[in-house]
Amino acid sequence: MLYSEPLFRPPAEADSLIVQVSEGCAYNRCLFCPMYKGKDFRVHSPAEIAAHLRKLDIAFGPDHTRVFLADGDALVMDTADFLAAMAQVCSAFPMVRRFSAYGSVFSLAAKTVDDLLKLKAAGLRT
């Protein structure tokens, strides 16, 4: 299986390659959002991400310029780990120029300005 279901991505990312760097949502208590109910949150290890990227390359080929880093609230990851995951993606898919991910207000507020600048410099846009 390529992905841990259910899998969601914003409509604007319909043409993006989805790379699952985490599962579920770290907060997962929003009354209006049932997307990740019943799915425990966890961050994937670098080895899991590498294995996932190999499967994605076989299934979808290498020619991707946009990547959505899933699941819900992937930005809760430690910034260094998130940047390392982005680097893994760029190594596997060298044409990637833009990343996006879901991030809660709590996860974004926990990032320093330096963290956010590093993420932007690495290609994170939304």
In a domain, 115, yes or no: yes
In a domain, 25, yes or no: yes
- CATH of residue 104's domain is 3.30.750.210
In a domain, 20, yes or no: yes
Domain hosting 101: range is 11-121
Q: Are 52 and 100 in contact (CB under 8 A)?
A: no
Residues 6+ apart with CB under 8 A from 116: 108
- Residue 64, classed as helix, strand or coil, is coil
Backbone angles phi, psi at 121, to 5 degrees: -60, -30
In a domain, 50, yes or no: yes
Contacts 24+ apart (CB under 8 A), 28-37: 28/72, 35/6, 35/8, 35/72, 36/6, 36/71, 36/72
In a domain, 126, yes or no: no
Q: What is the pTM of this model?
A: 0.93
Q: Are 98 and 125 in contact (CB under 8 A)?
A: yes
Q: What is the pLDDT along the chain (126 residues), one digit of tens a residue?
A: 789 998 999 999 999 999 999 999 999 988 998 999 989 999 999 999 999 999 999 999 999 999 999 998 999 999 999 999 999 999 999 999 999 999 999 999 999 999 999 999 999 997
In a domain, 40, yes or no: yes
The domain total for the chain is 1
